[in-house]
Amino acid sequence: MWDTLGLDGVADEAAIRKAYAARLRVWRPDTHPLEFSQLREAYEAALDWARREASSPPPAQVDAAGAELEFADTQPADEGLSSATPTPTPTPEAERPYAAAQALIAQLARDFSESGEAAGVDTLHRQFEAVSQGTVDARLEWETVLLHSLLTADTPPPALLFEADRLLRWTPRLPELARTFGDNAVQRLRLLLDMACECIYARHFSPNRWHARLFGAAPARWFGATATVAGAAQTAEYWRGLCQAAGLEKMLQYLDARCLRRISGRMLLSCDVLFAAVLALWACVLVQDYYAAQRQSVLVFAGWTAAAFLLALPLPLLGRWTWRSPAMTRFRGWWSWLANVPKVVTLIVVPILFVAALVAAMGENPLPVRVAGLSVIGVAFAGAAIAVGIALWRVLRWCERVACLPWLWVLRVWGNLRFKHVVEQLGAPPTLAQQLRNLPLAARRSWTDARARRLQARQRAAAAPKPAASGGSVNWWWIIVFIAVMNALARLGR
């Protein structure tokens, strides 16, 4: 212990701290991690020994205290009570740096909760400058208390985590912190730093404005580009995965509830506008010959086209709202037994049912039979029209995504470059020429990060507990439906 600190023998706390500071200049944690770990262990052991020696009284004082205690036992009751009254013990000299660090972190938490993130970040910078000008031990105590407070908090502020990582360089020091705090604490710290970087990037550096709206930095709107809204939805899913992995479900409150409702489909998307435009163009083609024969004016033709566009515009939004409504959810639950019907039976029963409806809709059948057949045919054509509309909407959405993907990719790369310069403290953000020059490297890094995210999401999904499979019970509903259809066909044949 004393040899590691470079001391000849027993020393007091001041000599131990001075020797530790001198050795620390040679054995830095970033260049000599093993020697630094041994130095830290020797330093803590020497301080512990010195504190115990300082707190234990000399033998003469122990004898005097024993005699005084025996004298107190021989006194009357009143005098014994008065002499046994405890006196407040002063704070030991060794505990003052830790108490000061606790006071600083408490002040930092108050500034974050009462004055906001900007004031909290300013307080963090002032405290860091103050402890950096003091002793090495005071800075280590302050960093330890700060790190412990962030690791044990239910909702650690992302701005505080991000700024603390920039100042104290926690990310490159994770192996060193693992030796001090343990692997579990470092794993939790890594997740917290990922969450902080995700939040700060979305709020201040992402070119996608829906990222800032997702974290409450901007108000949510009723209209948005499909590709950018889909990117915000992926970010929200990634944030949920990080919160679940870190065990911090309360961190979900950083996501704006109104924006989450918007990106879930309760808004007008750009592909909805394309869908309405295509339907209006199709209506124009259908009625073009009619208007040419009737010799109608161009204004009337344009008015009917605009009306068709306005009528078709809210259809996708209405469809998404209907699909997520409670009534439709209950209806899907009632008809969930159809999922157990074999595909072969479905392919046989559906054409037979359609043919039976066509036969029932003939004129020589009774009126109730014709009404039933026409109803089945109408439902079939309505379902086919809805299916064609959904397919057209999905095709337009895919085409829009393919057209917008290069531009969104370039914007994301530039945002990552600006964020990298801030994280690594490289000074001013890069200019446009520098961004274009570094574009291939940044693009490769962005692609690697995106692939790593997808891999982590798949691993979390694979590790998540899956519901127990059903016991392979036979569902008799499809057999009953098949028998009913065959019975109806037999009656029509008679």
59/226 Cα distance (integer angstroms): 81
User: Whole-number mean pLDDT of the chain?
Assistant: 75
C-alpha of 442 from chain center: 23
Cα 300 to Cα 103, 277, 280, 307, distances in angstroms? 76, 18, 14, 10
Asked if 120 and 216 count as a contact pair (C-beta separation under 8 A), the reply is: no
Where are the domain boundaries for CATH 1.10.287 in the chain? 2-74
> Could you tell me if 196 and 243 are in contact, meaning their C-beta atoms sit under 8 angstroms apart?
no
What tokens does 190 get?
């890594």
Q: Is 193 in contact with 403 (CB distance < 8 Å)?
A: no
Cα distances (Å, whole numbers) of residue 61 to 54, 82, 123, 158, 215: 13, 21, 46, 53, 64
What DSSP state is assigned to residue 366?
-
DSSP track, 404-466: HHHHHHHHHHHHHHHHHHHHTT-SSPP-HHHHHHTHHHHHHHHHHHHHHHHHHHHHHHHHSPP
For the stretch 337-346, contacts whose Cβ atoms lie closer than 8 Å and that sit 24 or more positions apart, written own/partner, are 337/475, 337/477, 340/475, 340/477, 340/478, 341/475, 341/477, 341/478, 342/478, 345/478, 345/482
Provide the pLDDT for residue 273: 92
Residue with tokens 């005084």: 68
3-state secondary structure of 224: strand
Burial of 440 (0-12, 13-18, 19+ CB in 10 A): exposed
**Is-contact 159 200, C-beta < 8 A?**
yes
**SS3 at position 225:** coil
Which run of H or of E encompasses 269? strand 268-269
Task: Show pLDDT as tens, one digit a residue, over the chain (494 residues).
Answer: 677 777 766 667 777 777 777 777 677 665 666 677 777 777 777 777 777 776 655 444 434 333 333 323 333 333 332 333 333 343 444 444 567 778 888 888 888 888 888 888 888 888 888 888 888 778 888 888 888 888 888 888 888 888 888 888 888 888 888 877 788 888 888 889 888 888 888 888 888 889 989 998 888 889 988 988 988 998 899 899 888 888 888 888 889 999 998 998 889 999 999 999 998 888 887 777 666 665 566 677 778 888 889 998 999 999 888 888 888 888 777 776 666 667 777 777 778 877 887 777 776 777 777 788 888 888 888 888 888 999 999 999 999 888 887 777 777 777 776 777 666 654 555 566 666 666 676 667 666 776 776 777 777 677 766 544 444 444 555 566 666 666 665 665 55
Residues 252 and 314: their CA atoms lie apart, in Å, by 31
Strand positions, DSSP E, 320-464: none
How far apart (Å, rounded) are the C-alpha atoms in residues 212 and 476? Answer: 52
- Please check whether residue 166 is in contact with residue 173, taking contact to mean a CB–CB distance below 8 angstroms: no
Half-sphere exposure of 363 (CA within 13 A, CB side): 0
State the amino acid at position 2 in one-letter form: W
pLDDT score for 325: 84
Query: Rounded distance, CA 96 to CA 8, Å?
Result: 27
Amino acid at 348: I
Query: Which of 221, 131, 215 is CA-nearest to residue 167?
Result: 131
- State whether residue 223 is helix, strand or coil: strand
- The closest of 384, 386, 374, 390 to 275, measured between CA atoms, is 390
Specify whether the CB–CB gap between 261 and 224 falls below 8 A: no
d(CA 381, CA 213): 41
Are 188 and 233 in contact by the 8 Å Cβ rule? The answer is: no
DSSP labels for 23-61?
Answer: HHTTS-TTT-HHHHHHHHHHHHHHHHHHHHHHHSPPHHH
- 484: its two tokens: 């009913």
AA identity, residue 39: L
Residue whose C-alpha is closest to residue 400's, from 230, 271, 277: 271
* CB contact set of 180 (below 8 Å; sequence gap of 6+): 40
Tokens of 170: 């926690």
pLDDT of residue 471: 41
What would the DSSP string read from start to end of 97-148? HHHHHHHHHHHHHHHHHHH-HHHHHHHHHHHHHHHHSS-HHHHHHHHHHHHH
Check residue 275 and give its pLDDT.
Answer: 92
- Return d(Cα 314, Cα 279) in angstroms, integer: 12
Report which DSSP code applies to 488.
H
The yes/no answer on whether domain 2-74 falls in CATH 1.10.3470 is: no
Say if CB 225 and CB 265 are below 8 A apart. Answer: no
pLDDT score, position 465:
61
Nearest residue to 172 via CA among 9, 33, 52: 33
